[in-house]
Amino acid sequence: MKKNQLGQSDLYVTEIGLGCMTLGTDEDKATRIIHEALDRGVNFFDTADLYDYGQNEEIVGKALQGKRDQVILATKVGNRWNENKDGWHWDPSKAYIKEAVKESLRRLRTDYIDLYQLHGGTIDDPIDETIEAFEELKEEGWIRYYGISSIRPNVIREYVKRSNIVSVMSQYSILDRRPEEETLSLLHQNGISLIARGPVAKGLLSERVFDNGAADYLDYSAEEVQELVEKLKGLTDSNRSITQTALRYTLAHPAVATAIPGASRPEQLIHNVQAGDVAGLTKDEIEKIRSWSKANHYQQHR
C-alpha cells in the first residue's frame, strides 16, 4: 500500500490506517482485525487512553507484540477518567501528560510511542505548558513526534504557530467538508499532515445505507444523505464501491497523509483497505462530488 510522509517527520504511514476505537472489547475478535490489517499492509494504528478505560490500548499493544518494528503506533492523551470511571474531565497539564504517557506505554507494551496526540483542546488551555510537556517527552525518548486531535480552528491555528506538531487529526469526509474551508490549506502550507477520521461518516457513505436507511448527519437530513449516496453510487464503477470512493475523496487533498476508518469486523477492514488498490478520483469526479455535497463551515471556535 502507498505510504505518505507524516508532516515533516520521518514517519511514513499507509494511506489507509486503522482507527482502533471501534474494535470493541472482545480481544480475540479485535486481534483478528488487527492482524488482518497487518497482513493487508496497514502500518498505522491509532488508539487513545480514553477508549474502553484503557482496554483498547491493552488489546492493541498485545496484538502488536513481536510486530512493533512494522508499525507506526499513535495514541492520545488529555481526557482523564474520574476515579470511579463514571466520566472524565479535561486535563492538558504538563504534569498529567507526563504521568499518563507512562501508563499508555505500559498498556501498549512498548518503550516508545511514534505519535502522541493531544485528544482535544480549547483556546483557554495552558497551551505553552502542554507543548512543553510534549517537547520534553520527545527529548526523553518516550515519544518520537506529537500532534493534536481537534476540529477547532482557533486551537489548530495556535498549535501551528507555537509548536512542532507533525499532524492534526480531524473529522473529514464528503459529508463533513469543514476542513476544506481553512484547515487543509493552513496545514499544507506549514508542512503538517491531516489524519482524516470519520472518512465514511459512521458508515453512511457506504452501501449499507440502501439496506439500513440513512440518518441525519451534521447539516444533512436523512433524505439528503440518501440522495447524495445515490449520486455517489452512480459515480462508482465495478472497481470502486461507495465506501472506497469516500476514502479516495479524503485522500485527494495533498495535506491528507492517511484516512483511518474504523472496523468492527474483518470483512469491513478488508473492504476499507482495498481502497488503497483502486485508482484515485479524477478531477472531474472530485468536482462532481463537491457540487453534490455541502461546503460545511465551522460555526464555533473561530
Residues identified as active-site: 51
Question: Cell for 234?
Answer: 452512480
Phi then psi for residue 56, to 5 deg, are: -60, -45
Contact between 289 and 232 under an 8 Å Cβ cutoff? The reply is: yes
The position carrying cell 483542546 is 121
DSSP 64: T
Single-letter amino acid code for the residue at 195? I
Whole-angstrom distance, CA of residue 113 vs CA of residue 66: 15
Compute the 3-state secondary structure of the chain and give helix, strand, coil in percent, each to the nearest 5: 45, 20, 40
At 279, which helix (H) or strand (E)?
none
DSSP 196: E
Contact between 182 and 214 under an 8 Å Cβ cutoff? The reply is: no
* Cα dihedral value 131, 136, 138, 141, nearest 10: -160
Whole-angstrom distance, CA of residue 237 vs CA of residue 110: 43
